[in-house]
Amino acid sequence: MTESIYSDLWAEILVSECGDKRIYIHQGGFISSKALILENLLCAKKLRDYLDKIIKAKENREYFKLCGEKI
């Protein structure tokens, strides 16, 4: 499964024959560029939790207001 995230950032999930899932996050239009590889879904959850903490921090709320985003 491939999905566009934002601008030139996109991700794909690859599933092995055993059912393991590996997530590749790419920047740019080419698959040959280096990707951030999340080895499993637990890594993805930990990254999401970290990014949520950054987004919800009081000092970053003004940034999202200026961008017109509600958090």
The mean pLDDT of 15-40, rounded to a whole number, is: 86
pTM of full prediction above 0.85: no
Q: Tell me the domain boundaries of the chain.
A: 1-39, 42-71
pLDDT at 5: 87
Arithmetic mean of pLDDT over the chain: 88
The mean pLDDT of 17-37, rounded to a whole number, is: 84
Number of neighbours of residue 64 by Cβ within 10 angstroms: 13
* Rounded Cα distance, 26 and 53, in Å: 22
Strand order in the sheet with 35-38: 2-6, 9-15, 21-27, 35-38
What is the secondary structure of 49-64 as a DSSP string? Answer: HHHHHHHH-GGGHHHH
pLDDT at 31: 64
For 15-24, how does the pLDDT look when each residue is reduced to its tens digit (9 = 90+)? 999 999 999 9
